[in-house]
Amino acid sequence: MKDFYEMDIASAGITRGFMAKKCDLYFTMENKLRRLLKCCFTLYKVPEAKQEEVIGQILKMDLKPIAEKIIEDTVRKAEEGFESVLAEK
C-alpha cells in the first residue's frame, strides 16, 4: 500500500505540472495529453506497445464536449452551493 501511495504522489506531481502549463500554439492539448499519459504510463512501467495503443485510442476521442460538460456541471454545482449558503443567512 505504501508503494502505491508514493507512486500516487509522483503521478499527481506530474499531472500538476502539466495542468500548470497552459496550452499554446506549440504545446497543444493533444501534445500535452500525449506527454502526460506517456509520463504516467512510464512511471507505472506500462509496456511501450500498450502505452501507444491506449494513447492512440484516447486521442481519437472527441474530448472537448466531455470537458465542456464537466466544466458546466462544476460551475452549476458551485453556484448552487453558493446560493444555499446565502439562503442560510
- The 10s digit of each residue's pLDDT in 5-50 is 999 999 999 999 999 999 999 999 999 999 999 999 999 999 999 9
pLDDT of 82 above 80: no
Domain ranges of the chain: 2-88
Nearest of 45, 48, 36 to residue 12 by alpha carbon: 36
Residue 42 CB contacts under 8 Å (≥ 6 apart), including other chains: 51
